[in-house]
Amino acid sequence: MKVLHFISGGETGGSRKHVITLLSQFPKEQVSLAVLQEGALSQEAREAGIDVHLFKQSSRYDLSILNKLASFIRENGYDILHTHGPRANLFGIYLKSRVSIKWVTTVHSDPKLDFMKGGLKGTVFTRLSLFALNRMDYYFAVSDTFKQNLISLGIPGEKIKTVYNGIEFTSHKVEPLSRESIGLKDNDFVMTMVARLHPIKGHEIVFESIKKLDKPDMKLVLVGDGLIKAELMEKAQSMGVDKQVRFLGFRQDVDSIYAASDLGLLASFSESFPLALLEAANQHIPLVTTDVGGVKELVSEDETGWIVPPGEAEALSSAFLKAYNASKNGTLKEMGDKLYQYASDHFSLKQLYKETLHTYELVKIGKN
């Protein structure tokens, strides 16, 4: 069995990490990765020993690469096309019509919100994305919430498999990043949020929540890049919290940043099952997260973190204060150790690989 994974290649968030960690578990001759552009994803995939192929577009609307992709699939005898993200899903319609192949996708985000604040173009792309979703043979949902989202779109539940994200948990924490190197002090209370800079991630709500508490030693580290970076930097300044916020951009030392932090943070309005939270758990730090995706499968309230409703600054402030006080009285570290133990027992990369492989085998022989 041979599987071709197809993704645009510009991703810097959770889907990037998911694809690289999953494919690295398969024998090199069994899976390949096709991308439309070079970037952090393709670079990291090659470093992980993954078979990567570039089908470079002259623009986002260059469709000439589709014939090349179709020929590539036929010549290399792939049995399954596994797409990730709206652009790859849309191109999959053409590929499926030209090649005899099973087509599956992983749903990493809510397709109704992928083009949030995209205006008329966003509305058109959302409709195209939903059109593509209804033409696949099988679906991986990275949380039960996303499975229910797909069912609400008319996709039969028997064609959807919930497979939670997983990572390779380590037995020891990594060496922490020097706080001084990013302008922080040893006695600061540091919250780290790893997320692309996109409206759906809730950065502005976090700024509002920090402002309400008025604690200068509470610092927010933002890891990730995106189109609204300038807008967010201006917002932090206008709200008077810019001295508490560090914009680090895209980083490849996320583990070291988490290891230097007191708390992992997710403030999204919608998510699947965020790998960023597992990465925080691997470094023994507890979490504050909005109630999205499958986070309740990971976080136990007041034991390994706190869960709050999306978009509610007051609730987020309350959770921040609880974490801040727990840090000061010495109980926060114990919560992080408990989270690590639970996460490493239930969300391993090995489990993700086994369930994905089994599903591929069923899809190939037409039992799904």
Do 106 and 186 belong together in one domain? no
Helices 14-23 and 40-47 pack at an angle, to 10 degrees, of 20
The residues, any chain, with a CB within 8 Å of residue 22's CB and separated by 6 or more, are 349, 352, 353, 356
> Residue 258 is part of a domain; what is its CATH number?
3.40.50.2000
Do 158 and 194 belong together in one domain? no
Residue-level pLDDT at 59? 85
Q: In this structure, are strands 245-249 and 218-223 parallel, antiparallel, or unpaired? A: parallel
207 belongs to a structural domain: yes
3-class secondary structure per residue, 274-316: CHHHHHHHHCCCCEEEECCCCHHHCCCECCCEEEECCCCHHHH
Domain count, the chain: 2
Residue-level pLDDT at 118? 64
Do 29 and 115 belong together in one domain? yes
173 belongs to a structural domain: no
Residue-level pLDDT at 114? 64
Model's pTM, two decimal places? 0.68
Do 136 and 15 belong together in one domain? yes
Locus of tokens 């008077």: 240
Do 189 and 134 belong together in one domain? no
243 belongs to a structural domain: yes
For 199, phi and psi rounded to 5 degrees? -55, -30
Q: Give CA–CA dist 84/109, Å, rounded.
A: 10
Q: Give CA–CA dist 273/299, Å, rounded.
A: 12
Residue-level pLDDT at 238? 97
Q: Give CA–CA dist 196/228, Å, rounded.
A: 9
Mean pLDDT (10-residue bins), the chain, 368 residues:
94 80 94 95 95 92 92 97 92 94 87 65 73 89 85 92 88 95 97 95 98 97 95 97 97 96 96 87 98 90 97 98 97 97 90 92 81
Do 160 and 211 belong together in one domain? no
174 belongs to a structural domain: no
Residue-level pLDDT at 275? 85
313 belongs to a structural domain: yes
Neighbours of 284 (CB within 10 A): 20
Do 80 and 183 belong together in one domain? no
Locus of tokens 């006080």: 325
Residue-level pLDDT at 367? 62
Do 274 and 311 belong together in one domain? yes
Q: Give CA–CA dist 295/273, Å, rounded.
A: 6
Q: Give CA–CA dist 357/159, Å, rounded.
A: 16
Q: Of 156, 108, 103, 161, which is closest to residue 132 (Cα–Cα)?
A: 103
222 belongs to a structural domain: yes
Q: Which domain holds residue 107?
A: 3-168+348-364
Q: Of 279, 319, 321, 276, which is closest to residue 301 (Cα–Cα)?
A: 319
